[in-house]
Structure 1
Amino acid sequence: MKRRTFLTIASLSLLVSKLPAKASRSRRAAVIGHTGRGNYGHGLDVVWQKIPGVEIVGVADADSKGLQKALDRLKIERGFSDYRKMLSELRPEFVSVAPRHPDQHMQMALAAIENGVKGLYVEKPFCRTPAEADHILNAAEKHGAKVAVAHRNRYHPTLPIIDKLIADGEIGRLLEIRGHGLGDRRGGGEDLWVLGGHVFNLFQRFGGEPESCSGTILQNGKPVTRKDVVNGAEGLGLLAGNEIHARWRLNSGVTASYTTFAEDGSDKKGYAARLIGTKGAIAIHIDRDPIAWLCPGNPFDPASRSNDRIPITSAGLSQTEIQPGLIASVHDHTLAIQDLIDAVDDDRDPLCDGRQGAMAVEMTCSIFESHLQNGAWVPLPLTERDNPLSRL
């Protein structure tokens, strides 16, 4: 078994063992949300109620009605319209930067770090540009804060099982990784920003860091030009296109590709990363149970692919999932939060740390940069740290 696989299994096992236990000391957490401007992500507020020994000491929300609802939901009394005031008065140890709109993330994260917060859990997308990511990561390093990003599938206990299947030759030689967006009305630029990061995180997990990118952005079948660039919904900043094609060369030698189309007719079933090998393929479906399936047989030879797909669970290949509580702790972020707490205590990086969130942002912007250069391969990290569409 690969050393990385062993360490991941060991780390997850340790986390699971701590979930039902009482914390050794009381921890103070606070929540930053913004009703009407990204709200509270996918449960990034209430997750702290599920961690033993954690006290939620305050919540900040600039919307007064939303703030009152959050106070009721969290069963606490201290609410603030200004998150900076909350951070300076309460001095929490941990914070959720919960709004889905990433245009607020950098300032919220910086304020938390500068007020002594030791662990931040940030909703995806991490931020809007590599420059914003640089500011957050530099501040975290300077102040000794740990940053985790809510690409929750990274914590899934089935991923080490997939590692072992690959190491054991179950799909032969890994040739490439293919990703696909959700394919609803947001297909293209919005789908890329809002959902693509989950797939890109799996590219990193199984193929390594991206070294270069080639990408094309289309609007109704034609290459995007300046007139197609818009200010995106959900605070995403500049985006464009209803069809995107991209490839990355990863440092493992494998190439990863990603496509997203608006209303592609897939009934939202294509949202996945697929590991393509010479003897089979493994599809990893985002936020679904079971998360992964093995497709036996040479994927390039229809005659060899008559076998049914085989589910992969945390118990192994073709095994019934025996840890539904553990899987639920992935979906509701409790496993990630426990890992963040342990990362602070052990002075280590979280399993899905800020650098990985930043890389998902960089991969997104690398598509835009390549499009500006007519699809040329552009090296990563990017030299220009802004949103390349601002220069189209």
Structure 2
Amino acid sequence: MATNIGKAKRRAAIIGHTGHGEYGHGLDTVWSVFDSVEVVAVADPDDQGRAEAQQRSGAKRAYRDYREMLTREKPDYVSVGPRWLDQRVEMVTAVAEAGAHIYLEKPFARSLKEADRMIAAIEKSNVKVQTAHQMRTSPYAIRVKELLEAGEIGTIQEVRLRGKEDRRAGGEDLIVLGTHLFDLSRMFFGDPHWVFAHVTHDGREISSGDIRNPTEPVGAVAGNQIAAMFAFDRGVHAYYGSKASDQKGSSRWGTRIFGSRGIIDLPNQTYPKGQPRILRTHRWMPTKRHKWEAIEGAPHADLPAKDRMLSNALMVQDLFEAVDQDRKPVTSAHDARWALEMIFAIYESQKSGSRVQLPLKQRAHPLESL
């Protein structure tokens, strides 16, 4: 397992694929935030994309083949950036076998079977993975968790998770962006026990003819409306929804938590955008006495970055600390797989017309047998 010894710089490398998932959302440039990091190389089979990425990231060397890069450079950390998942298992397995820790774009895999294969390789090599669910280290989300644990809005009555509901509303929204919401729900409430869901297309039950390939190859999807209820400990139920409509904005994307004494509204946006609010009334609506109040973020590391770069830097900072302290990163490979468990369980519930227990026994993609 790669380590950072003494004052030696952490050696970071980057895997991307221009025109085939790119470099994710800033996973190639985040290393430049840290003086303790030396970006030794970038790998990309596209000549122009590779040259641009090398200049953008400040990488010392560039390779067409990421396997050659791993062999020659022996990095301590690697960002696996491509959003497309058709190469994900091979990339993650190669990095793990090279003994490097990983900062990984979401979603984790196209199926639980693929997720299991990667986790087996990760555990065999004893490396750590941080998945880019940036809300986990958002000072806003951390503060919301503190307020919930302090009982600031009383007993949790229900939780509403709303998809982005842009042109991808329904199945693609579920896998590409729902993964953020489901990971965050586990941060607040722990592991869900079961789900009951309804997946439709234009108001009718989905069939095999509704299965489609999404905008990017992240696995099969179906439906343009999804409604699902998850059960957590202490009687907490979370309701997820994503439905196509004539409104293509993302202003509803986020988590709203209703308690016996008020509401917390947490937009799913890149910190420092998306400041959460709290409404301290059991009536769940503003009154003359009770108005929405802004929630300030929890303290965080002072890093020379802003906007999306800061969100990624906070994730990488936690990965460094996890390696140094030999602990789990805040959103590990197991956490990333759990988000997929919740996603694929929605399709399983639709297929069976019943409640589905979590985690799933079926590891193949549920739509393979619709």
Task: In structure 1, give the amino acid aligned to 2:115.
Answer: A
The alignment status of 1:43 with 2:26, answered yes or no, reads yes
Is 1:296–1:305's contact at 8 Å kept on the other side of the alignment? no
User: 1:142 Cα deviation (Å)?
Assistant: 1.4
Q: What does residue 208 of structure 1 align with? A: 190
Of residues 183-192 and 246-255 in structure 1, the stretch that sits farther from structure 2 once superposed is 246-255
Q: What does residue 113 of structure 1 align with? A: 96
Counterpart selection for 2:50 from 67, 86, 101: 67
CA distance in 1, matches of 2:290, 2:309: 30
User: 1:203 Cα deviation (Å)?
Assistant: 0.7
Displaced runs of 4 or more, over 6 A: 323-327
CA distance in 1, matches of 2:183, 2:246: 23
Question: CA 1:306/1:201 → structure 2, altered by over 3 Å: closer, same or farther?
Answer: farther
String of CA shifts for 1:59-115, please: whole Å, max 9, x gaps.
111222211111121233421222112112211110001111123222111010011
String of CA shifts for 1:217-257, please: whole Å, max 9, x gaps.
11111111000001222111211111111111123431111
User: 1:266 Cα deviation (Å)?
Assistant: 6.8
Counterpart selection for 1:55 from 35, 38, 41: 38
CA distance in 2, matches of 1:327, 1:216: 39
Is 2:165–2:253's contact at 8 Å kept on the other side of the alignment? yes
Counterpart selection for 1:357 from 336, 339, 352: 336
User: 1:25 Cα deviation (Å)?
Assistant: 2.2
Q: What does residue 15 of structure 2 align with? A: 32
Structure 1: tracts of 5 or more residues without a match: 1-22
Q: What does residue 313 of structure 2 align with? A: 334
The alignment status of 1:157 with 2:135, answered yes or no, reads no
Counterpart selection for 1:297 from 260, 281, 291: 281
Q: What does residue 172 of structure 1 align with? A: 154
Counterpart selection for 1:382 from 345, 349, 360: 360
Is 2:303–2:310's contact at 8 Å kept on the other side of the alignment? no
CA distance in 2, matches of 1:264, 1:298: 33
Q: What does residue 344 of structure 1 align with? A: 323
Is 1:28–1:92's contact at 8 Å kept on the other side of the alignment? yes
Secondary structure in 2 aligned to 1:384?
A: coil
| Root-mean-square deviation (Å) | 2.3
Counterpart selection for 2:170 from 168, 185, 188: 188
CA distance in 2, matches of 1:266, 1:329: 22
The alignment status of 1:88 with 2:71, answered yes or no, reads yes
CA distance in 2, matches of 1:339, 1:264: 40
Q: Percent of aligned pairs with the same residue?
A: 37
Question: CA 1:77/1:168 → structure 2, altered by over 3 Å: closer, same or farther?
Answer: closer
Q: What does residue 307 of structure 1 align with? A: 290
String of CA shifts for 1:280-323, please: whole Å, max 9, x gaps.
110111125243111232246x586863211111269xxxx9x8
CA distance in 1, matches of 2:246, 2:283: 22
The alignment status of 1:104 with 2:87, answered yes or no, reads yes
CA distance in 1, matches of 2:49, 2:350: 40
CA distance in 2, matches of 1:227, 1:389: 11
Is 1:181–1:270's contact at 8 Å kept on the other side of the alignment? yes
CA distance in 2, matches of 1:81, 1:260: 39
CA distance in 1, matches of 2:111, 2:234: 25
Task: In structure 2, give the amino acid aligned to 1:333.
Answer: N
Question: CA 1:370/1:81 → structure 2, altered by over 3 Å: closer, same or farther?
Answer: same
Is 1:29–1:92's contact at 8 Å kept on the other side of the alignment? yes
Is 1:290–1:313's contact at 8 Å kept on the other side of the alignment? no
String of CA shifts for 1:130-156, please: whole Å, max 9, x gaps.
111111112211111001100011001
The alignment status of 1:227 with 2:212, answered yes or no, reads no
Q: What does residue 5 of structure 1 align with? A: none
String of CA shifts for 1:184-228, please: whole Å, max 9, x gaps.
111001111111111111110111101111111111111110000
Q: Please, what TM-score do these two structures have when normalized by structure 1?
A: 0.87
CA distance in 2, matches of 1:252, 1:362: 21
User: 1:168 Cα deviation (Å)?
Assistant: 3.7
CA distance in 2, matches of 1:307, 1:266: 31
CA distance in 2, matches of 1:94, 1:208: 29
Of residues 291-300 and 54-63 in structure 1, the stretch that sits farther from structure 2 once superposed is 291-300
